[in-house]
Structure 1
Amino acid sequence: MRILVTGGAGFIGSQFVRGLLTRGTDQVTVLDALTYAGNPANLAPVADRPGYTFVHGDIRDAGTVDEVMPGHDAVVHFAAESHVDRSITGAAPFVSTNVLGTQVLLDAAHRHGVARFVHISTDEVYGSIDEGAWTESQPLAPSSPYSASKAGADLLALAYHRTHGMDVVITRCSNNYGPYQYPEKLIPLFVTRLLDGGRVPLYGDGGHIREWLHVEDHCRGVELVLHKGRPGEIYHIGGGTELTNRELVDRLLAACGADWSRVDHVADRKGHDRRYALCSDKIRDELGFVPQVDFETGLAQTVAWYAEHREWWSRHADR
């Protein structure tokens, strides 16, 4: 299969690409704009593999997308602006990349007859849930400019399926963690600061609850959807481990040999959703997906990776 992976130099996209190329059964083209979170070093382990092509380009550039798209059997669309805090201070890049960029890709995929389009989304499109877990039929109620832009992209993708009959499938995942994650998200931000002897910020009372998914498990789920998912369907990929931010920080402090004296309690983020939780029964029952990376093991491996790869993250001035 010849697969176009957008955002393939980012955290999750690069994990997906490394997995495909390591097995060596697919040809992979990566299309990435190499913004602040896209890093060619993320793909260095597979850069010399047969069947790998890298294209430096923006998904909003219709000309570039139209040149790259022909000949591919599938698009797996990871490319997105994804940091909630950045979307609160400036929403325009999120709307432009996540909504317009997705529309450009869908248009090109339809025009060139691409057989399958997998759109990668997020649990954040649902807003907050007090108890229980969302199913795929839950109405969208995004709280931030980021999640609203992802919800808009989701609706566009489904509209292309319904209007044009395109083979579009959507995945929505819980919070990812693992190696190569840009140090603006909670786990890599806290780990790198703690390893450097610095301080870390905890929003509000620390009671916000997130469900955690190792990036390797996420990519396993995406591959299952790519090959076996039903057209026009949405599949949740959840990790099954729910923690309050305070519980997570306690684990990170212990893993980095630090204590609570290094934590600054800061004002809560605007519109901060209290809890996310996904029901992943559908992907388990239909496609056989079960997370394989135990959270405690995965977190320990992640902390160790950042400790061993200081040269990768120390260059980020905004950490």
Structure 2
Amino acid sequence: MTHISDSMHNLMMFYKDKSCLVTGGFGFVGGHVVDFLLKSGAVVHALDIDTSPERQCLINLKGLRDKINVITADITDQNTMEDVVKETKCSIIFHFAAAATVVEKAMDIPYATVMANTMGLVNILEAARKSDGSIYSILFSSTDKVYGEATELPYVENVTPLRAIGLYDATKMAADVLARSYAEVFGVNVVTARLCNLIGPYDFNIDFRLLPKSMKNIYCQGQPPELYFHSLDHWRDYLYIDDAVRAMLLLAKEKKCHGEIYNMSACHFASTPTMIKEVVNKTVEIERRFNGKIAQQILEQGAKIVMGDAKHIVIEKQHLSGDKIKDAIGFVPEISFDEGLEKTILFYRQYFQDFKQGATEE
């Protein structure tokens, strides 16, 4: 076996037979964590406020419902969350649940965003505090947006100030700070992962996130992907979902990481216009294998610049240092941006093809 295979095998063996609670399990990141845990032989409890069989998500589309304990619950309900932690006898918690996972949604539901993104985590931390040490670790999914607009890049943990201003950003920053507080004051074994932009299959934030929305425009509507005018000067980090999942499971596993904060290092740092161009070019390259006429149409359409909502406070440049996580667990991205982008585009190509076929049959 290769070194990578050995390390992955060891990681899977660690999670074998462990009781793991995944909040937001029916979402993009949570679903991929559920999938990996099942492959590792873990006992998986997937909690979400919407667990309907009709929901478009990894758990439903890959037929995993019967292999997990599905829990329908609201993370803002403290008593419910304490009961869930007790009844599942979980030893590891992966916390991804949130009222809004994109800036635009948060602006529409500010109070719900504050309650879910901040108090939702507090309810998890409180349940762990009262568990008499039965919780081995909690992995809290934070974001690079907690840093806000920085004068120097890359962002470095415990060096770069937290300057979040936007509503979504501020709620995650508050939760981020509270996680550290519970670790320091109460000894709760929580590790915080500040994520960058993740790409991969089964991300159904199709109306908001850049890549899924671009795929919807191209494959579902036959339209060019849209680039917001205010994002022309934006720069972002990108990482493929499988690498992010591996990193988070390693962080939750290693005791030396508990109580710490880690940036999730990326495989690609690019301006938003460059990202859109790469998406179009890769889509054309892939489509030429199937339909040269459609590939040419995608190429000729290019991308469309549109006006966005000026009320959204958006950070211009975001870039994470990956030195700390590399030193702690040896994490570096293994899947290149090009490979990850191809896997993602192929998924959405098939997904929207099936979607249109189903709509036609109805």
State the SS of the aligned residue for 1:308. Answer: helix
Question: Within 5 Å, which residues of 2 pair with 1:238-317?
Answer: 238-254=265-281, 255-256=283-284, 257=295, 258=298, 259=300, 262-267=303-308, 269=310, 270-310=312-352
Q: Which of 221, 227, 235 pairs up with 1:202?
A: 227
Distance 2:65 2:224 in 1: 39
Distance 2:234 2:63 in 1: 37
Q: Which of 3, 11, 26 pairs up with 2:28?
A: 11
Q: Which runs of 5+ in 2 are unaligned?
A: 1-17, 285-294
Q: Is the 8 A contact 1:103 1:153 kept in 2?
A: yes
Distance 1:79 1:308 in 2: 28
Q: Is the 8 A contact 1:18 1:46 kept in 2?
A: no
Question: Within 5 Å, which residues of 2 pair with 1:157-236?
Answer: 157-182=179-204, 183=206, 184-195=208-219, 196-204=221-229, 206-228=232-254, 229-236=256-263
Distance 1:271 1:40 in 2: 29
Q: Which of 44, 49, 53 pairs up with 1:33?
A: 49
Instruction: State the 1:199 CA deviation.
Output: 4.3
Percent pairwise identity: 28
State the SS of the aligned residue for 2:191. Answer: strand
Distance 2:321 2:264 in 1: 8
Distance 2:188 2:151 in 1: 35
1:65 and 2:111 are equivalent in the alignment:
no
Distance 2:19 2:337 in 1: 33
Instruction: State the 1:118 CA deviation.
Output: 1.4
Q: Is the 8 A contact 1:5 1:29 kept in 2?
A: yes
Comparing 191-200 and 281-290, the one that deviates more: 191-200
Deviations 1:246-277 (A, max 9, x none): 01111222215424555133146432211111
Question: Within 5 Å, which residues of 2 pair with 1:49-198?
Answer: 52-70=68-86, 71-80=89-98, 81-113=100-132, 114-129=135-150, 131-137=152-158, 138-182=160-204, 183=206, 184-195=208-219, 196-198=221-223
Match of 2:10 in 1: none
Distance 1:250 1:40 in 2: 28
State the SS of the aligned residue for 1:247. Answer: helix
Q: Is the 8 A contact 1:21 1:28 kept in 2?
A: yes
State the SS of the aligned residue for 1:309. Answer: helix
CA RMSD of aligned residues (A): 2.3
Q: Is the 8 A contact 1:121 1:170 kept in 2?
A: yes
State the SS of the aligned residue for 1:211. Answer: strand
Deviations 1:30-66 (A, max 9, x none): 1111289x9464113362675x211011111223212
Name the aligned partner's letter for residue 161 of structure 1.
A
Instruction: State the 1:312 CA deviation.
Output: 7.7
State the SS of the aligned residue for 1:134. Answer: coil
Cα gap change, 1:41 to 1:123, in 2 (>3 Å): closer
Name the aligned partner's letter for residue 222 of structure 1.
M
Q: Is the 8 A contact 1:200 1:262 kept in 2?
A: yes
Count of residue correspondences: 312
Name the aligned partner's letter for residue 159 of structure 1.
S
Distance 2:337 2:144 in 1: 19
Deviations 1:217-260 (A, max 9, x none): 11010011010152211011121311111011112222154245
> Bigger radius of gyration, 1 or 2?
2
Q: Is the 8 A contact 2:243 2:335 kept in 1?
A: yes
Match of 2:38 in 1: 21
State the SS of the aligned residue for 1:5. Answer: strand
Distance 1:260 1:180 in 2: 25
Cα gap change, 1:311 to 1:43, in 2 (>3 Å): farther
Q: Is the 8 A contact 1:130 1:274 kept in 2?
A: no
More helix by share: 2
Q: Is the 8 A contact 2:137 2:253 kept in 1?
A: no
Name the aligned partner's letter for residue 201 of structure 1.
E
Give me the TM-score of the superposition, normalised by structure 2: 0.80
Distance 1:311 1:5 in 2: 30
Q: Is the 8 A contact 1:204 1:268 kept in 2?
A: no
Distance 2:233 2:301 in 1: 16
